């Protein structure tokens, strides 16, 4: 199989480096200083178990890659509207596209069934640019449960975790999912196949929609938010509203809000991805993590007062940070 990591940032470069190290035919598509460093020196991965270097193929343009069997979308959700229309040169008749984005993915309601079948979320897929470029039948969903960071161009620091759950949107256990999972497992990752990926997405959204925007507004770590009674109450209110939205869609969450909060406290003094992006001057994944949930809440008739308040404040923070980020 021929693999492409389209958007080889911290997560994509980590997956690609592990696959290249295991001997798979994998190409990393990147740009800027990170691209140049990987072209010259490959990818250096630093882990607690030991460092390793890998030499995957590196591409500066998608039209030089050609059709592949599997594309991993390695950019963050707000980068997909720009990337998706450019994927045409790498999409063959049988190419599978694996989404790795946090939050509610653009494909969530494709083949959903019932009243919400085919619903497009404007905050995630503005104007339908993603769904028109990537046919629904190509999509395999995934949820990434590991944390990585680019510490220098061409250098990826693995922080924690090694699991990436895969799943067909229709819940079937397909041959293509099995083959992708086998490749990831052979590369040293855990890759379970979930028949209930949509349910699993909401478990992660439960934390992402609450901890992420509040952390950006307060600059607090997970432990600090949980241990502050007033802030923890805000977190809990958001989680209750998010859970109510998921129930409206018929989703069952296999974890309670108390368990989700306790799990965050165990992680400790960790900064959320949204806070890390804010501090680094990068765009925040606000729409996929929070805006999409608010949009669904509006569709199903739930008010979501706490979530909407925090979302509005975080959105203004993001807008006010742009001039500083560009200086």
Give catalytic residues, as residue numbers.
204
Sheet holding 52-54, edge to edge: 52-54, 43-46, 155-167, 139-152, 91-99, 68-73, 2-6, 25-29, 57-59
Q: How far, in Å, CA of 220 to CA of 239, rounded?
A: 18
Q: How far, in Å, CA of 241 to CA of 226, rounded?
A: 18
- Closest by CA to 16, choosing from 7, 1, 28, is 28
Q: Which residue has the tokens 């739930």?
A: 302
Q: Which residue has the tokens 């991993």?
A: 72
Q: How far is CA 141 from CA 56, 100, 200, 256, 306, in A?
A: 24, 7, 11, 24, 29
Q: How far, in Å, CA of 12 to CA of 45, rounded?
A: 12
Strand partners, 72: 5, 98
Strand partners, 45: 52, 156
3-state secondary structure of 60: coil
- Closest by CA to 302, choosing from 249, 253, 252, 251, is 249
Strand partners, 144: 164
Q: Which residue has the tokens 């067909």?
A: 168
Residue 17 corresponds to which tokens in the numbers above? 């480096």
Identify the DSSP state of 5. E
């Amino acid at each position: 199989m021929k693999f492409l990591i389209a958007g080889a940032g911290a997560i994509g470069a980590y997956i690609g480096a592990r696959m290249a190290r295991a001997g798979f035919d994998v190409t990393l598509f990147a740009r800027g200083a990170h691209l140049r460093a990987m072209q010259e020196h490959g990818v250096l991965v630093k882990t607690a178990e030991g460092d390793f270097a890998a030499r995957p193929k590196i591409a500066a343009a998608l039209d030089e890659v050609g059709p592949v069997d599997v594309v991993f979308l390695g950019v963050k959700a707000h980068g997909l509207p720009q990337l998706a229309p450019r994927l045409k040169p790498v999409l063959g008749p049988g190419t599978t596209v694996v989404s790795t984005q946090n939050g509610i993915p653009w494909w969530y309601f494709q083949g959903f069934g019932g009243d919400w079948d085919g619903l497009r979320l404007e905050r995630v897929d503005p104007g339908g640019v993603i769904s028109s470029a990537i046919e629904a039948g190509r999509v395999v969903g995934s949820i990434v449960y590991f944390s990585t960071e680019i510490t220098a161009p061409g250098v990826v620091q693995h922080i924690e975790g090694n699991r990436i759950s895969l799943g067909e949107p229709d819940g079937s256990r397909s041959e293509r999912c099995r083959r992708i999972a086998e490749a990831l497992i052979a590369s040293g990752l855990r890759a379970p196949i979930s028949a209930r990926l949509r349910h699993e997405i909401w478990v992660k959204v439960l934390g992402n929609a609450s901890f992420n925007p509040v952390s950006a507004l307060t600059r607090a770590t997970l432990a600090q938010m949980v241990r502050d009674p007033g802030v923890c109450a805000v977190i809990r209110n958001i989680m209750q509203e998010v859970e109510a939205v998921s129930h409206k869609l018929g989703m069952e969450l296999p974890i309670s809000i108390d368990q989700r909060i306790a799990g965050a406290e165990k992680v400790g003094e960790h900064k959320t991805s949204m806070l890390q992006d804010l501090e680094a001057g990068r765009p925040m994944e606000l729409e996929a993590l929070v805006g999409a949930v608010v949009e669904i809440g509006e569709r199903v008739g739930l008010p979501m007062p706490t979530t909407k308040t925090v979302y509005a404040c975080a959105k203004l923070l993001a807008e006010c940070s742009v001039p500083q980020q560009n200086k």
